[in-house]
Amino acid sequence: MDTKLSVQEQLDTLPTRPGVYLMKDEAGEVIYVGKAVNLRSRVRSYFHTSARRSPKMRRLVSHIAEVDFIITDSELEALILECNLIKKHRPRYNVRLKDDKRYPYIKVTWQEDFPTVRIVRRM
């Protein structure tokens, strides 16, 4: 017997506290990560007709099979956690914060007859 809650039932159990939500598809893959001051109202907003006007939003909502959440003590903590989770999971519907731009370094190659200078992101 499948005891998994439907998405609608999951929405009804969301807390009204700040935190991060992870939307997953049928395979359990994280497809979107977001933060909220009020988890319940923010996640529910995706399922309102007015919120689903863009094709991207309709596609996202049509793929949601599960919504997980992590409660945080503040909006700032949620923001930091959201950033870390996006970098970890690289969800297909998150476009911001997904690009892992690290600090650039200047690399000089001394092994060659004519050393070269390059800008790299990894040492």
pLDDT (tens digit per residue) in 82-92: 999 999 999 99
pLDDT band at 117 (very low <50, low <70, confident <90, very high): confident
pLDDT band at 24 (very low <50, low <70, confident <90, very high): very high
Structure tokens, 11: 């929405």
What is the rounded distance in angstroms from the CA atom of residue 87 to the CA atom of residue 85? Answer: 5
3-state secondary structure of 6: coil
Class for domain 7-120, per CATH?
alpha beta
R_g (Cα) of the chain, nearest Å: 20
3-state secondary structure of 89: helix
Structure tokens, 80: 């930091």
pLDDT (tens digit per residue) in 37-82: 999 999 999 988 776 678 888 899 999 999 999 999 999 999 999 9
> Is the pLDDT at 4 greater than 80, yes or no?
no
Prediction pTM value:
0.74
- Decide: 88 and 29 in contact? Cβ < 8 Å: no
